[in-house]
Amino acid sequence: LDITEILRVFSTLRFLLPKSIIKISGGREVNLKDDGRKILLSGANGIISAGYLTMGGNTIKKDTEMIKEINLET
């Protein structure tokens, strides 16, 4: 999927499941060029950081800094 479709999926999930925790995880560094900023602003409200089963992923420090940069709570 391209980034527009990915954002649309997360926005739709947020609309359909307003009280659910919707997490982003593995592959976001490859598929989302902004490391997840747009997707967190589009509906995701959880993030899995570092040490995926098959990939290293972003560090917890890098993800925490990103979340603070877009003025979300950590």
pLDDT tens profile 33-61? 776 899 999 999 999 888 767 767 788 89
* Model confidence pLDDT, tens digit, residues 6-39: 999 999 999 999 999 999 887 787 778 776 899 9
Q: Which of 35, 23, 26, 44 is nearest to 62 (CA)?
A: 35
Beta carbons of 39 and 7 less than 8 angstroms apart: yes
Write down the domain spans for the chain. Answer: 3-69
Higher pLDDT, 68 or 48: 68
What beta strand segments (E) does the chain contain?
A: 23-24, 46-47
